[in-house]
């Protein structure tokens, strides 16, 4: 569970950094975005298998339901 929580925290951090500079300017950044989204999918699937409320963890990190929804949409989760 701790690894899932840390993964979700990293997802939120990456989202925040990406939003501050959303223009992918090179192939490296595009590849990192793709890899991060794939990893996010794995983390969320693991949370679902283990019964971990990833939405509550993200909400605790961001403190705003609108931002929670934006993050899930960014990662193509919901």
Provide the residue range defining the domain that includes 47: 2-19+36-74
Q: Is residue 25 part of a domain?
A: no
Report yes or no on 52 lying in a domain: yes
pLDDT tens profile 29-74: 888 889 999 999 999 999 999 999 999 999 999 999 999 999 999 9
Distances (CA, A) of 62 to 13, 21, 28, 55, 77: 10, 18, 27, 11, 17
d(CA 4, CA 43): 6
Query: Is residue 24's pLDDT more than 70?
Result: no
- pTM of the model as a whole: 0.84
Query: Is 14 part of a structural domain of the chain?
Result: yes
* pLDDT band of 1, cuts 50, 70, 90: low
Say if 51 falls within a structural domain. yes
* Number of domains comprising the chain: 1
15 part of a folded domain: yes
Question: What does the pLDDT read at residue 41?
Answer: 94
């Amino acid at each position: 569970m701790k690894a899932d929580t840390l993964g979700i925290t990293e997802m939120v951090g990456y989202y925040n950094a990406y939003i501050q500079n959303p223009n992918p300017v090179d192939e490296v950044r595009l590849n990192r975005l793709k890899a991060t989204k794939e990893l996010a999918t794995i983390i969320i699937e693991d949370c679902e298998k283990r019964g971990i409320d990833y939405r509550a963890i993200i909400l605790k990190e961001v403190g705003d339901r609108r931002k929670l929804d934006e993050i899930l949409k960014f990662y193509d989760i919901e």
